[in-house]
């Protein structure tokens, strides 16, 4: 079921979201200061490519205050807009009964888009 859900996800917008995250990651990695943010964009892109069967979990160790500072910067620079996009798509997909599994993937990605530092995708 995961493979079918991922294939349908790719056909109906998942690949476009993946390309968007990868291009943003490459643009962020051009500058030295943007490399940590670019790596997080790549993490979001990989999740956007194949979201079914993936889990988001907090890291076992305490990442420290640097992770918190980076999450705050991420939130104000672009995380809120990415999260709002996923919220909009999630609500639109949740209106139909058939779209509920894809809406739940957008909501999962929304939580990671708000604060990606200190989390990992498994």
- In order along its 122 residues, the chain shows pLDDT tens digits of 789 999 989 887 788 889 988 998 999 899 899 999 999 999 899 999 999 988 888 877 766 788 889 999 989 888 888 888 889 888 988 998 899 998 999 898 988 889 888 888 88
The two three-digit tokens of residue 84, written as one number: 């709002």
pTM of this structure: 0.83
């Amino acid at each position: 079921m995961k493979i079918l859900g991922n294939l349908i996800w790719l056909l109906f917008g998942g690949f476009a979201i993946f390309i968007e995250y990868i291009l943003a990651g490459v643009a962020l990695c051009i500058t030295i200061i943007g490399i940590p943010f670019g790596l997080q964009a790549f993490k979001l892109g990989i999740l956007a490519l194949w979201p079914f069967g993936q889990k988001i979990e907090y890291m076992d160790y305490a990442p420290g205050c640097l992770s918190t500072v980076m999450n705050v910067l991420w939130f104000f620079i672009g995380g809120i807009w990415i999260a709002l996009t996923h919220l909009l798509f999630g609500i639109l997909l949740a209106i139909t009964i058939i779209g509920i599994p894809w809406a739940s993937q957008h909501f999962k990605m929304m939580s990671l888009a708000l604060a990606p530092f200190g989390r990992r995708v498994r």
